[in-house]
Structure 1
Amino acid sequence: MMRQNLTRTWELIWTLAKTDWKVRYSGSRLGYLWAVLKPLLIFATLYTVFSIPFGRGVPMYAAELLIGILFWNYFAEGTSTGMQSLFAKGHILTKVPVSLWTIAAASTLQVTLTFLLNLLVIIPFVAAQPIILRLSGLLLFLGSCVLTAMLILAISLFLAPLFVRYRDLKQLWEVLLTLGFFVTPIIYPPNMTPERLRHVLSFNPMALLIQSARSGILQPSDMSLLPLLTAAGMIGMIFAASIYIFQRTAPTVSEYL
């Protein structure tokens, strides 16, 4: 019985994610190609502006910048979409008995599908570098991807019930994401972080995940598990807190849909 319930839950999550993913690109002439073009256009813009002030002395600046952009866009888009997921599916929740957490999970999965397509653009950049990929490095990169997905889901579970009640969260979260983009070493190397902000990086799971992803792919001979393990500990605590808050706030969601 439990196995059947898990199978049905997964089928529901997959169906919702797949449907939303198809709808997202429907009506667009370029369709799914935008999943690759969008990060490349963002990369081209940021590289043109910041490669001279921040790229000097960084041998693989282009590849590091691209990885940072892909992971941050994944996080930003995933949390923004997840935050609005319950409200967006209000027409379903008021008619069909659905576990609210499956809506947030489907939202995370939908954005993850786009992220997986995004990762294709890394291949030519990595191939152009004088490095030899290692299985341990690829596993470190994969671990960074999985933990980023878990962080997105955790924040979505926390924000989604609150957004149904407080719609101003969207604007506030956009401001926080913009701030987070510049606080996180994406367009500049970590050693250029202002001294007064360096302690913030140790409490920034996205900075640690991006650092792990970069080292796994670009510096496999000099990588460390410490950033990934530190991020895993943080995300575990965030996830536990999000589940606790979700269980307390989810029962009132239907009152505001």
Structure 2
Amino acid sequence: MKIREQANLILELAIKDIKLKYSNSAFGYFWMFVNPLLLIITLYVIFSWIMDLEMQNYQIFLLLGIIVWNFFSQATTNCVNSVSSGINLLKKIKIPLYTLILGSNLSSLISFVISLIILIIMMLLSKIDIFTPIRILSLFYFFILFIFIFGISILISVMYIHFKDTSHIWEFFLLIGFWMTPIVYSETFIPNKYLKYYMLNPLARIISHLRNTMIYNYIDSLEQIIITVIIVFIMFLTSILIYYLYSKKIYDLV
């Protein structure tokens, strides 16, 4: 399959995924905007008003963490569902598994962008100047985030084909991972003796970089950025290696 054909297929799969998600609902695609907005408002009320945490721009701090986590959890969970529902395509056409994964990730990316638009509006309402050169660096972090999510999605999908209980194990991992990632709190709350181990979590590092850049208009040290890139690409390359090691067996197992 040529690159152009693969790109068209990935786009078609993403559009199909979005249509299946919202076509049978009364409000249709309106939910693409309502769902993230309701989630943001609910968690904001719980953690910002009820817990009354004293932190500069905590509402934006919280929302950014939630949006990134929601993208990660939604994309990785949906990729398993896409592989499960796309098994016939894998059998009949023998399309590469990664096209299903990329199509699913692209669908989740669209929801993520909508959530980001809501976040940017709230930043403007909070009188945060988003048009600064430093904040352009956020685009690089978003790219790193997508690479990380794509790598994890590949790994989970390959595991799912070999072991169908992977989806249930992943749901449990996400439940634990939410509290092991600095979403509702800052990594500065972690004791120094554990911090270096805690920050091996790529998602924790990416969220920290994004907060510093988008909210506080601050660039982390080049050393810290390089460490993040190295960790993410090691995980991504590991996922790619596992994919190619098992790619020939995939069509026999589906």
Q: What's the counterpart of residue 171 of structure 1? A: 168
Q: Does 2:205 correspond to 1:208?
A: yes
Q: What's the counterpart of residue 188 of structure 1? A: 185
Q: What's the counterpart of residue 231 of structure 2? A: 234
- SS of alignment partner, residue 184 of structure 2: coil
Q: Does 2:135 correspond to 1:143?
A: no
**Alignment partner for residue 102 of structure 2, among 101, 105, 114?**
105
Q: What's the counterpart of residue 45 of structure 1? A: 42
Gaps of 5+ in 1: none
Q: What's the counterpart of residue 219 of structure 2? A: 223
- SS of alignment partner, residue 136 of structure 2: helix
- SS of alignment partner, residue 254 of structure 1: helix
RMSD between aligned alpha carbons?
Answer: 2.1
Deviation at 1:160, TM superposition (A): 0.7
Residues 242 and 133 of structure 1: CA distance in aligned 2, closer, same or farther (over 3 Å): same
C-alpha contact 1:141 1:214 (8 A) present in aligned 2 = no
Task: Deviation per CA, 1:56-115: give whole Å up to 9, x if none.
Answer: 321201011111111000001111122343222001111113122212111111111111
Q: What's the counterpart of residue 156 of structure 2? A: 159
C-alpha contact 1:14 1:106 (8 A) present in aligned 2 = yes
Q: Distance in 1 between matches of 2:77 and 2:221?
A: 29
Gaps of 5+ in 2: none
Q: What's the counterpart of residue 123 of structure 1? A: 120
TM-score relative to the length of structure 1: 0.90
TM-score relative to the length of structure 2: 0.91
Q: What's the counterpart of residue 62 of structure 2? A: 65
Equivalenced residues, count? 253
C-alpha contact 1:84 1:163 (8 A) present in aligned 2 = no
After TM superposition, what 4+ stretches of structure 1 lie above 6 angstroms from structure 2?
none
Task: Deviation per CA, 1:158-177: give whole Å up to 9, x if none.
Answer: 12122022111111111111
Return 30-39 or 180-189, whichever deviates more: 30-39
Return 50-59 or 77-86, whichever deviates more: 50-59
Deviation at 1:225, TM superposition (A): 5.0
**Alignment partner for residue 81 of structure 1, among 78, 86, 93?**
78
